Chains A and B, each alone.
Chain A
Amino acid sequence: MRTISEKYKKINKTGLLFILPAVLIVVLLLIYPIFSSIYFSFTSKHLIKTRIDWVWLDNFKFVLTNPDFYVAFYNSIKWTGLSIVGQLLIGFATALALNKIPKYSGFFRILLIIPWAFPAIVIAFTWKWIFNDVYGFMPNLLTAIGMTNQNINFFADPNFVFGTVVFINIWFGSPLFMVNILSALKTIPSEQYEAAFMDGASAWQSFWSITIRHIRGVIGLLLVLRTIWIFNNFDLLYLITGGGPSNLTMTLPIFAFKVGWGMKQLGVASAITVILLLFLLGICLLFFKLLTKWERDDR
């Protein structure tokens, strides 16, 4: 091994050429914009006005004393937490079931994967149509079978709107969990179950010590990636509710968008997104610590 690595040390110049384009892209399209965002968060940057002043921490003070910010923060956590738990549960349950049934698993798999193919705008149109308070299938069905006296307006009624958007997100996101968990389940050698059975382990015991142990790496990774994705997600909620009614579904990305492009205060919007990033960094550090601990345990 040593000789090989020494040989390759000499040609590190070639190695640099291989990675150079990517390094340039990352620096120009990610590092530089992030720093300019941090810079803007200390300024009075406006969407149209050209004058720009250094305002120190004024933007952060404005954001942190704004009650809407806390509403959005709380909604973001609620939206992410409920969605991710639902997606994991449904995705996991369907994957286990598909792995267990003797026939037609390919057929069910194809049907279950369909929501994943929906772009955000089509998700919004479709569900807004199904839940439309006048012509929609769902409110009319509920009224027809006598569960409600008059059609519920799922996107305007404060009692229903949050549950409805979380349901839509679970509908959309579960297939991704299902597909990845299923392919992880398929890699578990069946001898392990046979050995456990021989040793007299109960189904529950072998589920915990074999199944969960094998797939928790994939689940952990999915949880990290999807948590970040949902937390950062802008289009789904923006297209379905736009943050309304009266800020009930307003999350941090939507709040930043409204401040930045609605109120045209790009400096303040930058401050919100910087806070958002710091929060996510913290969460991810925790997650990664957990993942490395699992990896160590597996060895």
Chain B
Amino acid sequence: MKTVGRNRMGIAILYIFLSIAALVAVFPLIWIILSSFKSPGEMSSHPLAFFPKNFTWVYYDRVLNNLHFFKNIKNSLLVSLATTLISIVISALAAYGIVRFFPNAGKKMTKLLITTYMFPPILLAVPYSIIIVKMGLVNTWTGLIITYLSFSIPYAIWMLTGFFQTVPLEIEEAARVDGAGKMRVFIQVVLPIVSPGIVATAIYTFINSWNEFLFALLLINSSAKMPISVALYSLNGSEILDWGEMMAASVIVILPSIVFFMLIQKKIAGGLADGSVK
């Protein structure tokens, strides 16, 4: 009986701990949502009031109609999707090539690849800002996508080799005996097996491109071409009205991400634990 009682105490403490942790994790989100609906007077006179007294849509109206935020969201979507698509195609081919055709040299290659992860973005920023200018790609999505491939492809190859290693050779052999070509085996037999891994890798790539800030700051300066991260940066909090706009813009950016994250959270976790660690 005594141990049961102690166990219950322990479980209660765990729930209390998790509740506090969850409160700290969630509070900022709740706070920016509530703030984005408060009138400027309310924000400055009652900084501790929780719920807005008079709901206002004024900041959302300003952000969407005066600052044309949807355009920036569209830019971000375009750049991130293109980066993800190109990265996945190139990395899936490479990961499969490494696993199937160069199993021994491949191990060393992937180890070398992961060292590129330690290249500081700021180190690449110097040559990129010079090269992209020389190529005349400043203020273009092409220029931005090229630089995003630099960090997404090595990581994607690294994650994907882990998944491709789980495909049994016998299945491919069987397909080959049936007369399928190498490319067909890859597309029709291997890819469906590793599709969960591909989805996880694609999500990772997409999120990293969506959140990228430094290269976008250096390579895009026309507001019509800016991705959302840099467009948000151009807002500044010098007046209370600006803070309202910043909160509304933040909510617009963060809500879809959070829904997306909740849907895919198990997949990303699987990415690191199932794929690359083995």
Interface-lining segment among B17-25, B54-62, B63-71, B191-199: B17-25
Q: Mark A50-61, 1 if CB is under 8 A from B, else 0.
A: 000000000000
* A40 surroundings in chain B (CB, below 8 A): 126-127
Does any Cβ of A come within 8 Å of B165's Cβ? no
CB-CB contacts below 8 Å: B248-277 with A: 249-250, 253-254, 257-258, 260-262, 265, 268-270, 272-273, 276-277
Our pick among A8, A17, A93, A120 for the contact of B213 (Cβ within 8 Å) is: A120
> Does B31 lie within 8 Å of A179, measured CB to CB?
no
> Does A11 lie within 8 Å of B211, measured CB to CB?
no
Could you tell me the distance in whole angstroms from the C-beta of B68 to the nearest C-beta in chain A? 17
In whole angstroms, what is the CA distance A127 to B27 when docked? 11
Does any Cβ of B come within 8 Å of A274's Cβ? yes
Q: Mark B90-111, 1 if CB is under 8 A from A, else 0.
A: 1101101110111100000000
* A256 surroundings in chain B (CB, below 8 A): 122-123
> Does A97 lie within 8 Å of B90, measured CB to CB?
no
CB-CB contacts below 8 Å: B122-143 with A: 122-131
Q: Mark B5-32, 1 if CB is under 8 A from A, else 0.
A: 0000001001101110110111011011
> Does A98 lie within 8 Å of B119, measured CB to CB?
no
> Does A182 lie within 8 Å of B269, measured CB to CB?
yes
Our pick among A26, A109, A110, A121 for the contact of B233 (Cβ within 8 Å) is: A121
Could you tell me the distance in whole angstroms from the C-beta of A157 to the nearest C-beta in chain B? 18
* A276 surroundings in chain B (CB, below 8 A): 120, 122-123
CB-CB contacts below 8 Å: A106-141 with B: 108-122, 125-130, 132, 134-137, 140-141
* A253 surroundings in chain B (CB, below 8 A): 120-122
Does any Cβ of B come within 8 Å of A37's Cβ? yes
Our pick among B18, B121, B129, B253 for the contact of A122 (Cβ within 8 Å) is: B253
* A222 surroundings in chain B (CB, below 8 A): 272
Determine the main DSSP class of B at the interface with A: helix
Does any Cβ of B come within 8 Å of A162's Cβ? no
Our pick among A135, A184, A235, A273 for the contact of B243 (Cβ within 8 Å) is: A135
Binding site for A on B (CB under 8 A): 11, 14-15, 17-19, 21-22, 24-26, 28-29, 31-32, 35, 43-44, 47-48, 90-91, 93-94, 96-98, 100-103, 113, 115-131, 146-147, 149-150, 153-154, 157, 169, 173, 182, 210-211, 213-214, 218, 228-229, 232-233, 237, 240, 243, 246-247, 249-250, 253-254, 257-258, 260-262, 265, 268-270, 272-273, 276-277
Could you list 19 A-B pairs, sorted by A, with CB under 8 Å? A16-B101, A29-B150, A30-B116, A34-B127, A36-B130, A97-B18, A117-B254, A119-B254, A132-B243, A134-B44, A135-B47, A179-B265, A179-B268, A221-B277, A253-B121, A256-B122, A261-B218, A273-B120, A273-B123
